[in-house]
Amino acid sequence: MRKTSARLADGREIIYFDESDDARHETRDPRAPAPPPAASELRFDPLLEEWVIMAAHRQGRTHLPASDECPLCPSSEGRHTEIPASSYDVVAFENRFPALAFGEPPHDTTEELPVPRSVGEGRCEVLCFAADHDASFVDLSPRRVRTIVDVWADRTGALSETPGVAEVFCFENRGREIGVTLHHPHGQIYGYPFLTPRTRRTLDSARRYRERTGGDLFADDLRAERDAGTRVVRRTEHWTAFVPAAARWPVELRVYPNRRVADLPALTDAERDDFSLLYLDLLGRLDRMFDTPLPYVAAWHQAPTRTQRDLAYLHLELFSVRRAPGKLKYLAGSEAAMGVFVNDVLPETTAQRLRELAP
């Protein structure tokens, strides 16, 4: 894989990842110079003990443009996009409308607040999976998926070494129903300056479990699901995919490496190869569930960059808001206000259905 780094007109970094070592790109951005994005603001919610990101500049971000105005397509004569090259394999670049960014703090127009506040420094990257605007992840070749896994690992490693980044989050949102604002096949990578509530809570659970039993919470949960077998969708030499027993979403999968590792860079070549094939298989099954492309979130859970790494276990969480043909699950009163999920579909039913949808 050939890696080429350059700068866009406003100073943001762009990195080309090419499957051919001979690939060369036009890396000069012909657009007029512009100031880099400003950092956002963090405000601390004392009731939930969580940071909330205030990023008012994102209100004006690009929203569902026509295909001939997509900012993630390669540039062409007379039309300059976020990617100066005329073609590419995989590209990562700093988001033009980041939730978090290292830069100048926002102009303070707020009166004194009753809660702690901080500059929202961090890093938000866009990761384009392919130059083809009409493709989806499930349409990619195993080789391209393997390249993307390598890029996830590369960016995790780089951001983990960035001062101020406490956690790296790689994810993809697909589908208008999920809330995507660009249809081009892409994902995102966040470098948070704090531990996210989900990570903090699961690691606290893992620590208490270790103190109580001496065991590994994630490994024991995986072992219990494999032993039960009822919710396992597929197991390969290196990975296990299952519907969790307490699934919150009508369609939900967790995909674990059979060997405990902390993060994506720790995966071996064999584990990366195996995942590339397994993941395409799972995405294909999901799209066949309702005979239409499934809106989903695919989220990698990794160890924090500097603390509690011995408690973490890398895994992928994949879920959808679609509960039946033409029907979506919305977060209503119990879920949105109280955080108590009500699932209309039994996890065992979902697992059985996905097993039956093997190609």
Query: For residue 61, what are its two tokens?
Result: 């971000």
Q: Which of 169, 190, 175, 201 is nearest to 101 (CA)?
A: 190
- The reply to whether 133 sits in an annotated binding site is yes
Query: For residue 320, what are its two tokens?
Result: 């959808």
Measured between alpha carbons, how far is 285 from 237 in angstroms, rounded to an integer? 20
Measured between alpha carbons, how far is 186 from 253 in angstroms, rounded to an integer? 20
Measured between alpha carbons, how far is 253 from 19 in angstroms, rounded to an integer? 29
- The reply to whether 73 sits in an annotated binding site is yes
Measured between alpha carbons, how far is 87 from 75 in angstroms, rounded to an integer? 8
Query: For residue 206, what are its two tokens?
Result: 């893992």
- How remote is the C-alpha of 30 from its chain's centroid? 30
Query: For residue 100, what are its two tokens?
Result: 């978090």
Helices and strands in the chain: count of H runs, count of E runs: 6, 16
Under 8 Å between Cβ of 194 and 51: yes
Dmax over Cα atoms in the chain, in whole Å? 64
Q: Is 25 a catalytic residue?
A: no
Length of the chain: 359
- The reply to whether 301 sits in an annotated binding site is no
Measured between alpha carbons, how far is 262 from 266 in angstroms, rounded to an integer? 7
Token pair 């699932």 in the structure block, residue:
343
Rounded to 5 degrees, φ, ψ at 328 are -115, 155
Catalytic residue among 186, 238, 301, 315: 186
Residues of each annotated binding site: 70, 73, 133, 184
| Residues known to be catalytic | 186
